[in-house]
Every structure is written in structure tokens, then in C-alpha cells.
Amino acid sequence: MNRSGIDILLSTTMPPGLAEDLAQHFTLHGPEVIGSPGFAELAPRIRGLASREPARVDAALLESLPNLEIISSYSAGLDNIDLDAARRLGLVVANSSAALDEEVADTAIALILMTVRRFAAAERHVLEGKWAEGPFPLARGLKGRRLGIVGLGHIGEAIAARATAFGLSIAYHNRRAKPEVPYAYHATAEELAAESDILAVCCPGGPETLNLIDAKVLRALGAGGVVVNVSRGSVVDEDALLAALADGTIGGAGLDVCRNEPNPRPELIGHPDIVLLPHVGSATVETRARMGHVMRDNLLAHFGIKEV
């Protein structure tokens, strides 16, 4: 039963159970009210917005809510939200990244193993009946190789901790150096790539990182190099990636994300040097439940509501 009397707008439908959880604390209004005849009357009552990708939260929606205080996102990424408008309007923007660090880091390590050791290609070798024709070609090992992490946030640090156990050396690129970490810092992604064998991309999406991993970065990574992306498809220039694979500039790519989800371009599908997953980095029952709890808790904390 709602005890706060605070009105929250849902920008889209929520996973099973999450709306019911939120309704224990807030008065909820579903996405169907947006743009409805009664929306102008309701809008001044809305103090919080619960968002979920891929539904857009644009400037027009934010400007229509004069008393909005906070956007709480069921996601680590915020590229579905007009952050410039949110800043201009003085809104708090909270995400649920703390809930999914570990699983996304696990996914990055799995993609590194699948690409460097070529496990996905080895499985195809068996499934296509080629094993009897001859052994699968030798792959490369991980120990002693250099991992460059683009975006050393919570997920990047979790990847680094796992990679260290595999005997990889770690370096990173961020907008700013983090003096407290024991890893080498590089001021640009290109400089990092030049000193890496494997490039793990886990920075935020959005305009600032659009095509950050471009032809220059891929050339710097070099032959035999591997790119792993658990960030957003927009961060990697797919034209440059496919060209680099075609001419041997790099050796492989492991992608949990791509540009045109859920309809990746045909050249990515079945490519012998690409492992392509359907954006499953955080797709565990436990993680999705935690994401919902974090979304709820961000709203509760903002409005000073204590769980009972």
C-alpha cells in the first residue's frame, strides 16, 4: 500500500513485479498517460520518473513535468535519456549500474576467452562436421597478454580484477586518470590500443563516445588484436571494425552489443572472427532483480522514505 503519496511516472512498462514493488511506496502512473487528454492536469503532480531502455526520455517529456525531481533508470546506460535537458532542469539522474557490475564483467571475460581462444569458432568446427576432416587450428593463450580497458568504472575495475587472475597485465583509458588504481593510464583510446593485445570497451554510450573505437584505434591495436565490447554498440565504428577484420588489421571481436539491436547488420552474423551475443551481459535472474531494487532504492533515498 502506498504510504508516501508521491506520484511517479513510468516511462514504459517495467519487468514483472517491479511496478508492484514501486506501488508499495508511490502512486504510479503508467506510460499510457503520456500525451493523453488528462496528462496536462496530472503532470504537475509527478515528482519522479522511472525509466527503462529503450524508451526515450526526451526534453519534451521532461519539460512537461514542472515538479519533476529525479529520473531513476532501470539500466546502467543513460543514452536513452536527454541528459543535457536533465542537467538544464536540475534533475537528479540515477542508474542501476551497481547491480550489474559483476555479471557484465563475467561476460567480458567470457568474450575474451571466446575470441582469443576461438572457442565459438571451435564449436562451429564440431557442429559443421569438420572435426573428422582435421583438428581445429591452434589459438593463442591469455597469460602474459596485455588488456586495455576503455572505461575504468565499476565494471572496468571488476573486469581488471578477473583479468589479473588470468595473468593479463592491465592498462586503461578514462576521461581522467585514477591515481588510486595500480594500472597504467593512457590519455587516449588510440594510445591505449597501441599498448594492448586485447581492448575491452565498457565506457558509457552517448554522443561523447560515438565511434570512439574507430579505424585509428583498431590500427593501433594491430594484427592479432581483439576488441571486446560490453558497453554500447554506438562506441564501436562497425564499418571500421568489419574493414579491420577483412584486411587482417585486427584478429577478432567479441560483441555483446551492436548498433541496430535487435537486428544486427548481416555482416556481423556468422562472421568467422566475431563472437556476437544478444546483449545478455546483465541477463541473469539475480541481476535483473537487483536492478529493480536499486531503481526503487534510488527513489526511496531521494524522497527520504525508509523501508519498513
Query: How much is the CA Rg of the chain, to the nearest whole Å?
Result: 22
Cis amide bond preceding 54, omega within 30: yes
Question: Helical H runs in 5-92?
Answer: 18-22, 39-42, 59-63, 83-88
Residue 232 appears among annotated catalytic residues: yes
Nearest to 261 by CA among 281, 287, 290, 244: 281
- CB 151, CB 203: distance < 8 Å: yes
Q: Of the residues 52, 232, 288, 290, which is catalytic?
A: 232
Buried b (16+ CB within 10 A) or exposed e, 87-126: eebebebbbbbebbbbbbbbbbbbbbbbbbebebbbeebe
**CA angle 112–114–115, rounded 5-degree value:** 65
Q: Of the residues 186, 279, 290, 296, which is catalytic?
A: 279
**Cα gap 178→248, rounded to integer Å:** 34
Coil, strand or helix: which one is 93?
A: strand
Residue 279 appears among annotated catalytic residues: yes
**Cα gap 136→45, rounded to integer Å:** 64
Q: Of the residues 88, 261, 265, 286, which is catalytic?
A: 261
What amino acid positions are annotated as catalytic residues? 232, 261, 279
